[in-house]
Structure 1
Amino acid sequence: MGTLLSVNVGRPEPTVHSDPGVTAIGKKPVEGAVQVTAPSERKGVSGLVGDAICDVRHHGGVDQAVYAYAREELDGWAEELGRALPNGVFGENLTTEGLDVSGALIGERWRIGGTLLLEVSATRIPCRTFAGWMEQERWVRTFTDRARPGAYLRVLTPGEIRGGDEITVVHRPDHGVSSADVFRALHSRAPEVLPRMLDLPALAEGHRESAAKRLGV
């Protein structure tokens, strides 16, 4: 069991590091309850009501409805980078405590609050918007080397959540493939995981297609 430390949403801000010219990566904690819904589009819509998606080609939608990151890993990054990293700074919607988010298995299901049910569906692919936002030299390479990606989740049952809610892992599949494993596989660090990705029904379609392309099948 873990704790939802904060629910974070973003508003569009100008940037030179994204093709749309705006980004909502700088998310901030919200006071009170936030409604989480299941987006009908594959891209371009957040699962959190009030959270903006600016790069509609690469973010949001069914398989990336909600992004979670662990406070413990943010603290590790803060120590490594020598700077404060507030909740939401990695663009995460959910900042958690007590859960190994990067180690969450594809298809793992979380219950948050009374009714919200989420399913781990994808890993993060760091981009130039993330690098520009962090203003850290060689950030994409560093993030890739550490392989602490957090996890994307799809919405199975909508619900209302708020900071302080409990997070309960209600289902954990037995295949052993985590968000971090998929991350390493897609960055050519764990090629042995690629064939296993083809047999994960809960894995985001785009990740499964990438695995198939790399395997030539």
Structure 2
Amino acid sequence: MKLLSVNVGQARPVPYTSHPDGLTGIDKRPVEGPVMVSAPGPKGIAGSGLAGDVVCDLKHHGGDDQAVYAFAREDLDDWERELGRTLANGCFGENITTDGLDVSGALIGERWRIGPAVVLQVTSGRVPCRTFQGHLGEPGWVRRFTRKAATGAYLRVIEPGEIRAGDAVEILHRPGHGVTAAMEFRATTTERELLPRLLAAGDDLHPEALAAARKYVAEQAR
């Protein structure tokens, strides 16, 4: 298991984002050399966990619990076959493109060591938005991505450091609760009956998903 690429984006004006200035950083491109990874700070204030990477929509993206977005090359290859087009590393807006790792099947709370120093922890899947659809230029993309539920994973930074393309990825810890990034995505979008199962992941879960699960359980108990 390894990193195929480390990808960062700059703010660019586009016609398909809801950002008030019409800017997005979703167009991530692979970079050479090491990139510093660290916890960026609270959502709404801080952006990406990667140095040199820009997050424009701080309301929905970035912050400690979405510091890094990972997507598997295998899933990009699957989409290439389905869409009949080439998909470069980073084109889904991911910060790290992996090889040999089931990213969507990663468990909430799972910890990865990347390279000699960095440790990341899985927090949630990725919810597609209109900016993602506009960036890909695929009609009905939000529905298609949601239906497949190969979401990739957001991660928080446990141990900071530098990463680069070619770094080995090692799974340090894999919880036993069975709650994957893909399940978290399905529970918070199309299959809300799964929300109670998310509680098994506890505080490792993205705080917004944990709050949604607790609210659902409380409502069902009334």
* TM-score under structure 1 length normalisation: 0.96
SS in 2 for 1:199: helix
User: Quick check: 1:65 aligned with 2:64?
Assistant: no
Residue 13 of structure 1 aligns to which amino acid in structure 2? Answer: R
Count of aligned residue pairs for this structure pair: 215
Q: Is the 8 A contact 2:179 2:200 kept in 1?
A: no
Partner Cα separation in structure 2 for residue 212 and residue 138 of structure 1 = 31
- For residues 161 and 52 of structure 2, the distance between their equivalents in structure 1, rounded to whole angstroms, comes to 14
Q: Distance in 1 between matches of 2:181 and 2:192?
A: 12
User: What amino acid is aligned across from residue 4 of structure 2 in structure 1?
Assistant: L
Deviation at 1:190, TM superposition (A): 5.9
Q: Deviations over 1:38-63 (max 9, x none)?
A: 11222341100000000010000010
Matches of 1:66 and 1:79, distance apart in 2? 26
- Alpha-carbon separation, structure 2, partners of 1:188 and 1:79: 25
C-alpha contact 1:18 1:55 (8 A) present in aligned 2:
no
Letter in 2 for 1:46: S
TM-score, length basis structure 2: 0.94
Q: The residue matched to 1:168 in structure 2 has which SS? A: strand
Between the aligned residues of both structures, percent identity stands at 54
CA distance in 1, matches of 2:153, 2:126: 7
Q: How does 1:1-12 map to 2 (within 5 A)?
A: 2-12=1-11
Q: Decide whether the 8 Å contact of 1:5 with 1:163 is kept in 2.
A: yes
Deviations 1:96-147 (A, max 9, x none): 0000000000000000011100000111111110011111010000000001
Match of 2:25 in 1: 24
For 2:58 and 2:190, the matched residues in 1 are separated by: 26
Distance, in Å, in 1 between the alignment partners of 2:143 and 2:215 is 23
* 1:198, distance to aligned residue in structure 2 (A): 2.4
Match of 2:77 among 69, 75, 78: 75
Distance (Å, rounded) in 1 between the aligned partners of 2:186 and 2:42: 27
Gaps of 5+ in 2: none
**Cα shift at 1:18:** 1.7
1:35 matched to 2:39? The reply is: no
Asked if 2 retains the 8 angstrom alpha-carbon contact of 1:102 and 1:149, the reply is yes
Quote the offset at 1:184 in angstroms: 1.1
Q: Which runs of 5+ in 1 are unaligned?
A: none
| 1:204 alignment partner in structure 2 | 206
